[in-house]
Structure 1
Amino acid sequence: MTATQMDPPVERFDVLIIGSGASGLTAALHLAPFRRVAVLSKGPVDEGSTRYAQGGISAVLDKADSFDAHVADTLDAGAGLCEIDAVRRTVAAGPEAIQWLLGLGVPFTREAHEGRSRLHLTREGGHSARRVAHAADATGQAIEDTLVHTLRERPRIDVFERHMAVDLIVHRAGGSPRVIGAYVQDGKTRQVQTVLAPVVILATGGASKVYLYSSNPDGATGDGIAMAWRAGCRVANMEFMQFHPTCLFHPKAKSFLISEAVRGEGGHLLLPGGERFMERFDRRAELAPRDIVARAIDHEMKRLGIDCVYLDISHRPPEFVREHFPTIHQRCLQYGFDMTAEPLPVVPAAHYTCGGVMVNRHGQTDIPGLYAAGEVSYTGLHGANRMASNSLLECLVYARAAADHILSVADPLRPESLPQPPNWDESRVTDSDEEVVVSHDWDELRRLMWDYVGIVRRRDRLLRAQRRIGVLMDEVHEYYSHYRITPDLIELRNLVLVADIIVNSALERRESRGLHYIRDYPERNPALDGQPTVLTPPPPT
């Protein structure tokens, strides 16, 4: 590559954070008093999966609850694959994380108790106690809005909205790799510029958009996982994709999530004839962990040949429903459903990526200088199945841990001292006149993942998916090599790579456990307790 007169200037920062959800903004706010920080956001800074988290944040906040109980519930949901130290650290840090958010002004729902106001706590699937702090049924929006508002007041944070990371820049002098920044595309100009930083934090979220039906916004395309893999980082447990049991079934709803808190407050799952069915699958019925509920719904839909099941909370007083679920109630009314008076049609949808880039207790990856926090990472907290509302807790705890570790380095590298990498070279590519190739491959990938690598799997279907994904990877590589990149192409390149990782991980695990259910191996293998599926990328070329 050679620089030209048209090359954009190189930006330099102490820390580059890729992603603007709860993890990215939490890390930025903790770092900003001491480092110059850049935050990249694929879209508006307040857009992302955090905003759509309805339920809340789990933490031990009641005298009747305990750390041991929260740990035990998490381990039970994780089906023998949680890392106990990670679970204990995260749970122990929960109350402090909530206090930090309260200090920023997050408007958590409160209730009167013995003449005083306290946080209202709800209960969700897998939890043995009420320990989920929430802001009505729009907790993620309340947290994101508060973090963004606080961010705007911090002068040492530069925010780049509608900027998309293309790839990490890794310097490999003497065979010792170190991240030194990223190539970033400006969404308006489509120009790719070089952003240098001795520390990069991946906070890009998960990869649920690899599936045809997802509760996630469009940006959940596995970007950080794919970039880290190409840079040389190991990933773990990518076969464990959580499908949320209850997304609104409506052609115009675009996978609107019906919070697990609806079941936590007494909602019943029904067949079309009004019969409850969850008691046949688990003694906890509607409050069973998400993998059990999603698989039960999938089973009933296939057994009866129906398009959906129903979630009913209309037996609770209408004022109770409107007070506890104002956002869901209003949104459902827009689609013609009154949840105070009738059941809601629901189906499962891809919701959360339990695996990710392997990190240690400080959020460090295999590449020096590169950290990861939130859904993009594998910390060991979730194991084979994430328990409801543990995800936002993990975001806050590990973002804080990464920031603290970064600040603990006595003599940090300065951005001015980093080697100058080649600028992005587009001298040998052209604009594409066949964008239909990208849209076609995107649609095919998501449909084959839904059909062959979904809630219930089979080895022959996984092998079929593996073969077709290999063809798609070749097509995308060919296209990427000859045409100027677009946001859609960047996302497709990342998604097809993550799809390949998911399939290979699923083929590696020859048992059924948690979110990974495969008919060829329907039983859990105790010999695999505590054994994550770890994949190592090939050496970079």
Structure 2
Amino acid sequence: MPTYDFIVVGSGIAGLSYTVKVAQYFQDKQKPIKIALITKTVAEETNTKYAQGGIAAVWDQEDSFDKHIQDTLVAGDFESDQQVVEIVVKEAPERLKELISYGTDFDRKSDGSFDLVKEGGHSDKRILHYKDSTGNEIERALLEKVKSFSSVDFFTHYFAIDLITQHHLGEKVTKDTPHKKCFGVYVLNKKTKKVETFIGKTTLLATGGIGQVYQSTTNPTIATGDGIAMAYRAKAFVKGMQYIQFHPTALYQPGKKPNFLISEAVRGHGGILKNLDGTTFMEKYDERLSLAPRDIVARAIDSEMKKNGTDHVYLDTRHIPKSEIIAHFPMIYHYCLDQLGIDMSEEMIPVVPCQHYLCGGIIVNEHSQTNIEHLYAAGECSHTGLHGANRLASNSLLEAIVFAHRAFEKSVQEFGTQIIPAGIPDWNDEGTRNPEEMVLVTEMTRELESIMSNYVGIVRTDRRLKRAYDRLELIYLEHEELYKQSKITVPLCELRNMINVAYLIIKHARAQRENKGLHYNLDLLNA
């Protein structure tokens, strides 16, 4: 079984930027190390790749740290950790300069200055972007940088199953066990269909979001909450799972998954939300109109759709010059034209809210450390305290690079203190057989998605949450029986992870007895 100095699970902005920093640090010291970068499909298929809008940072003299901090706290319904907010906002410019030094290209004006834009919830223009495919550009630059280091071994089409802890050495491990330690991860080689044991002195989870738990999501098919579920099973602490962000404006395409995102930046550029009869409605909900924070806009759209009995609303960009639309939003423009025959300079875009981002996750401290020694988490799978009850637009990529940097600083500082015990066992699947009833996995997955979308969505009630909990328990029991009997497959494990994640979302939502940010329970309105 291979032993690595660092194991990174996930190849989005958090995993890649961490890998670059660690590799560069030891290369500069001329100290040979081995880094394993594990990703479940191809390296570039990540949530990062699909981030359209941009990355927030105070870059202009007219802007200020205080304003960005305040905007983040307001969007998070003052549930954010103010110290963490200050850390992220104040460290943002330096981390952005590093991305630029790696070759990331952000749009500039004719005078060479950055073309900063404003998005919902922001009080100033502070979003750096590359047209409407910022995440893809960041992913490209980081991947090129990572591939320049000989110390990094890429493992594509490898699916992480479980973290290795004292539990696998025969010790009883509970959430209260002191000094829990991570020794690596069991990983399914999708090509050989064999489970391999990766021993690691330091492990970073950068596995992204949980969108596939819902019927409609902007997240790619890989976003099944794997890192959160693995950490939870290893007795890491998890928080804030009730705060599921539904992006207000996904393109309305019934039956399509993932949903195509119509970026926040389109509204930042002047796009106006309207009902099917062409009337505006955001003035009834918030003085910031279409540029209100996402939770407010998503609930407003949900309310209008239910009130009017419609399946979507419109985003009107017809008043924006066509040349500007094509210059700023080429991917969105051509997708609408090619897929739906809609020219957004002449016709309104049908949009609907759908799941987009998780504000909760694995609890980490200001150095990205979990409560399990030598296990770090960064990006969407982590809970840093930045987002509170709702994420401010374009703060997610920012959080990922800031906390990946902090994880790098701490993990190289503790490097050499880790002791890998002898006797870590290989994966044991004796007595299992190839699953014959894959239709059960397909149907259980479909049922789980339906439960979460219908009962644990934008608007909730106590009865809906209890119904979701009861139905999920039946799926859990049925899946557990199948899992114990079967050899490992990706669909079986992804469903296992989604059941864990759905359970945590429902559990945290039922425990939340106050409407804050993204958690909106009708039974709490008069409580």
TM-score of Structure 1 vs Structure 2, range by shorter chain: over 0.9
1:152 Cα deviation after fit: 1.1
Kept in 2: contact 1:165–1:184 (CA 8 A): yes
1:425 Cα deviation after fit: 1.6
Say yes or no: does 1:210 pair with 2:213: yes
Aligned to 2:11: 20
Aligned to 1:511: 514
Q: CA offsets, 1:90-147, max 9 Å, x none?
A: 00011011100110111110002xxx31111111100000000000100000000111
Kept in 1: contact 2:203–2:375 (CA 8 A): yes
Instruction: Assess, with a 3 A threshold, how the Cα gap between structure 1 residues 516 and 42 changes in structure 2: closer, same or farther.
Output: same
Kept in 2: contact 1:125–1:264 (CA 8 A): yes
Instruction: Assess, with a 3 A threshold, how the Cα gap between structure 1 residues 196 and 366 changes in structure 2: closer, same or farther.
Output: same
Aligned to 2:398: 393
Aligned to 2:407: 402
Aligned to 2:30: none
Aligned to 1:348: 353
Say yes or no: does 1:277 pair with 2:284: no
Instruction: Assess, with a 3 A threshold, how the Cα gap between structure 1 residues 487 and 410 changes in structure 2: closer, same or farther.
Output: closer
1:302 Cα deviation after fit: 0.7
Write out aligned runs for 1:258-277 (5 A): 258-277=262-281
Letter of the 1:490 partner, please give it: C
Instruction: Assess, with a 3 A threshold, how the Cα gap between structure 1 residues 258 and 472 changes in structure 2: closer, same or farther.
Output: same
Distance in 1 between residues matched to 2:197 and 2:77, nearest whole Å: 43
Distance in 1 between residues matched to 2:255 and 2:125, nearest whole Å: 34
**Unaligned stretches of 5+ in structure 2?**
27-32, 172-176
- Say which is worse superposed, 173-182 or 155-164, in terms of deviation: 173-182
Distance in 1 between residues matched to 2:194 and 2:508, nearest whole Å: 35
Please point out which of 406, 424, 433 is paired with 2:427: 424
Letter of the 2:349 partner, please give it: L
Aligned to 1:140: 135
Please point out which of 134, 139, 154 is paired with 1:159: 154
1:498 Cα deviation after fit: 0.6
> In structure 1, the residue corresponding to 2:183 is in which secondary structure?
strand
Instruction: Assess, with a 3 A threshold, how the Cα gap between structure 1 residues 190 and 280 changes in structure 2: closer, same or farther.
Output: same
Write out aligned runs for 1:482-497 (5 A): 482-497=485-500
Kept in 2: contact 1:206–1:221 (CA 8 A): yes
Distance in 1 between residues matched to 2:503 and 2:457, nearest whole Å: 14
Letter of the 1:165 partner, please give it: A
Letter of the 2:315 partner, please give it: L
Aligned to 2:251: 248
Kept in 2: contact 1:196–1:418 (CA 8 A): no
Aligned to 1:4: none
1:410 Cα deviation after fit: 6.0
Write out aligned runs for 1:90-239 (5 A): 90-112=88-110, 116-171=111-166, 176-239=179-242
Kept in 1: contact 2:180–2:371 (CA 8 A): no
Q: CA offsets, 1:64-109, max 9 Å, x none?
A: 0000000000000000200000000000011011100110111110
Q: CA RMSD in A?
A: 1.2
Letter of the 2:285 partner, please give it: F
Distance in 2 between residues matched to 1:126 and 1:318, nearest whole Å: 26
Aligned to 1:528: none
Distance in 1 between residues matched to 2:182 and 2:415, nearest whole Å: 19
Structure 1's consecutive aligned runs of 4 or more residues displaced over 4 angstroms after TM superposition are: 172-175
TM-score by length of 1: 0.93
Kept in 2: contact 1:20–1:46 (CA 8 A): yes
> In structure 1, the residue corresponding to 2:516 is in which secondary structure?
coil
Say yes or no: does 1:307 pair with 2:311: yes
1:412 Cα deviation after fit: 3.2
1:490 Cα deviation after fit: 0.7
Aligned to 1:372: 377
- Say which is worse superposed, 44-53 or 252-261, in terms of deviation: 252-261
Aligned to 1:457: 460
Aligned to 1:535: none
1:252 Cα deviation after fit: 6.6
Q: CA offsets, 1:494-541, max 9 Å, x none?
A: 001110110010010011110000001026x9xxxxxxxxxxxxxxxx
Aligned to 1:538: none
Letter of the 1:413 partner, please give it: Q
1:209 Cα deviation after fit: 1.2
Distance in 2 between residues matched to 1:261 and 1:118, nearest whole Å: 19
Aligned to 1:533: none
Aligned to 1:3: none
> In structure 2, the residue corresponding to 1:442 is in which secondary structure?
helix
Letter of the 1:467 partner, please give it: D
Q: CA offsets, 1:3-25, max 9 Å, x none?
A: xxxxxxx1110011110100000
Aligned to 1:501: 504
Distance in 1 between residues matched to 2:135 and 2:355, nearest whole Å: 18
Distance in 2 between residues matched to 1:461 and 1:111, nearest whole Å: 50
Distance in 1 between residues matched to 2:423 and 2:163, nearest whole Å: 14
1:436 Cα deviation after fit: 0.3
TM-score by length of 2: 0.95
Say yes or no: does 1:295 pair with 2:295: no
Write out aligned runs for 1:330-349 (5 A): 330-335=334-339, 336-349=341-354
Distance in 2 between residues matched to 1:253 and 1:444, nearest whole Å: 17
Letter of the 2:217 partner, please give it: S
Q: CA offsets, 1:159-199, max 9 Å, x none?
A: 10010100000025776421001100011111101000021
Distance in 1 between residues matched to 2:417 and 2:425, nearest whole Å: 24
> In structure 1, the residue corresponding to 2:369 is in which secondary structure?
coil
Kept in 1: contact 2:251–2:350 (CA 8 A): yes
Instruction: Assess, with a 3 A threshold, how the Cα gap between structure 1 residues 369 and 226 changes in structure 2: closer, same or farther.
Output: same
Percent identical pairs in the alignment equals: 45
Aligned to 2:29: none
Instruction: Assess, with a 3 A threshold, how the Cα gap between structure 1 residues 385 and 218 changes in structure 2: closer, same or farther.
Output: same
Distance in 1 between residues matched to 2:69 and 2:159, nearest whole Å: 37
Distance in 1 between residues matched to 2:416 and 2:430, nearest whole Å: 39
Aligned to 2:417: 412
Q: CA offsets, 1:195-253, max 9 Å, x none?
A: 00021100001111111100100111111111001001111110000000001012475
> In structure 1, the residue corresponding to 2:144 is in which secondary structure?
helix
Kept in 1: contact 2:3–2:200 (CA 8 A): yes
- Aligned pairs, how many? 510
Kept in 2: contact 1:198–1:418 (CA 8 A): no
